[in-house]
Amino acid sequence: MAEGGDRRRHPQNLQGVLRLAVEAGSASDGPAPHEPLSEETKTWLRQALAEACKGQMDEVEQMKECLKILRAEWNTGRERDGEDGEEGEEEKESALELLSDLCENLDNARDLMKLGGLDLCVSSLLCHPQSGIRWRAAQVIASCAQNMPEVQCHLLTLGALKSLLQLTDHDSNPTVRVKALYAVSCLVRELEEGLQDFQSQDGFSVLMRGMQSDSEKLRTKSAFLLLNLLTAHPENKDTVLAMGMVQQLVSVLRSPHSSVHEHVLGALCCLAEDNRGVEDCRAPSLGLKELLTQRAQDLQGKEESQEELEFCERLRIVCFQGQTQDDNGMDR
């Protein structure tokens, strides 16, 4: 083997190290599935595992150091001036990015909660004057909230959902709005308490306005979350129909074609499963039948738009098939 050839195959992350360790164990127990490991690789493997384990043990200390950086200005009660201020902002942004990465690990997310990191994010960092810190704080909340009911409920107790919805609705920075909505999604999906809080905070109105924003990402993510919530919790259909959601969704469909339209059509299909939803879709003033006919023609033959086309055809069948032959509409 050429010099360095074995080293070039060394894995660069913990998952790869563990896989190599399994292979090493297999080689010692019986016929190896791959070529035997060299002494150089075995030595490197032992060192890598030791470093990986050490790194895992040090992650709580890393989070503590990040929180020291993030708490610095709040302890003094004022922003730093001049170059120190810019440097301090970059420090805080880096600290938040590291926390977000670390908290992809569920144990770390729980530890950050116990260290008071989430309280700091909600009470101070989400309302920080610098947008780079606001959106990174929302990202940390999202990382911690995913699939963690204990953390989700703690965040709800802190009033995180109200703050995140306000950012989604009103922040001047589009990245803050998108990240805040992502955090909202992590708090309300798969958590009944989160959905109840979302409803009490008029969250569906926030999604409606999000779909009408100038930000393509915010429009798409708002429509996607609406579709997800209607699919998982159909009991919310009456609420959104009473808000005039069908009319708003059709208005979005008339905007220049984009990725948001697939989710909008999906949401309309969900609402059309309800008799009132069908009635709203059939309102002559909307012109939805003609719009769907034209859209289906435009999407024919476009493989990347196949799901949108399926939603379009499904909505046409549910709402308009046989309507001209039967004035009472389709027998459903």
Is the pLDDT reported for residue 29 higher than 50? Answer: no
Same domain membership, residue 228 and residue 295:
yes
Report the chain's terminal Cα–Cα distance, integer Å: 72
- pLDDT at residue 87 in the model: 72
Q: What b-and-e string marks burial along 54-64, b requiring 16 or more CB atoms within 10 Å of the CB?
A: eeeeebbebbe
Domain span at residue 298 reads: 219-321
- Alpha-carbon distance 325 to 233, whole Å? 34
- Could you identify the residue written with the tokens 């150091």? 65
Is the pLDDT reported for residue 308 higher than 70? Answer: yes
Same domain membership, residue 299 and residue 227:
yes
User: Is 109 inside a domain boundary?
Assistant: yes
Q: Which two tokens stand for residue 133?
A: 């810190």
134 neighbors 126 (Cβ within 8 angstroms) = yes
> Mean pLDDT highest for which of 21-30, 81-90, 202-211?
202-211
172 DSSP 8-state letter: S
- pLDDT at residue 20 in the model: 57
Residues 184-195 have a mean pLDDT of 94
User: Is 82 inside a domain boundary?
Assistant: no
Same domain membership, residue 194 and residue 223:
no
Residues 305-327 have a mean pLDDT of 83
Same domain membership, residue 230 and residue 186:
no
User: Is 213 inside a domain boundary?
Assistant: no
User: Is 229 inside a domain boundary?
Assistant: yes
130 neighbors 90 (Cβ within 8 angstroms) = no
252-283 confidence digits (pLDDT tens): 999 999 999 999 999 999 999 989 999 999 99
- pLDDT at residue 329 in the model: 40
Same domain membership, residue 155 and residue 240:
no
Lowest-confidence pick of 16-20, 37-41, 204-208: 16-20
More confident residue, 190 or 264: 264
- Alpha-carbon distance 314 to 316, whole Å? 5
Residues 9-24 have a mean pLDDT of 52
Is the pLDDT reported for residue 48 higher than 70? Answer: no
- Alpha-carbon distance 140 to 103, whole Å? 7
SS in 3 state form for 224-255?
A: HHHHHHHHHCHHHHHHHHHCCHHHHHHHHHCC
Is the pLDDT reported for residue 331 higher than 60? Answer: no
Is the pLDDT reported for residue 77 higher than 50? Answer: no
Is the pLDDT reported for residue 8 higher than 90? Answer: no
Residues 65-82 have a mean pLDDT of 68
Q: How confident is the model at residue 154 (pLDDT cuts 50, 70, 90)?
A: very high
Residues 179-184 have a mean pLDDT of 98
Q: Which two tokens stand for residue 251?
A: 């208005």
- pLDDT at residue 303 in the model: 87
Q: How confident is the model at residue 58 (pLDDT cuts 50, 70, 90)?
A: confident
- pLDDT at residue 4 in the model: 43
145 neighbors 157 (Cβ within 8 angstroms) = no
Task: State the chain's mean pLDDT as an integer.
Answer: 84
**Cα distances (angstroms) measured from residue 2 to each of 226, 295, 296, 300:** 57, 60, 59, 55
289 neighbors 319 (Cβ within 8 angstroms) = yes
311 neighbors 269 (Cβ within 8 angstroms) = yes
More confident residue, 16 or 321: 321
More confident residue, 43 or 17: 43
Number of domains in the chain: 2
- Secondary element (H or E) of residue 313: helix 306-320
- pLDDT at residue 287 in the model: 96
75-79 long-range contacts (CB < 8 A, ≥24 apart) are 79/129
Ordered DSSP codes for 1-70: --TTHHHHT--SSHHHHHHHHHHHHHHHHS--SSPPPPHHHHHHHHHHHHHHHHHHHHHHHHHHHHHHHH
User: Is 45 inside a domain boundary?
Assistant: no
Same domain membership, residue 267 and residue 188:
no
Same domain membership, residue 196 and residue 223:
no
User: Is 315 inside a domain boundary?
Assistant: yes
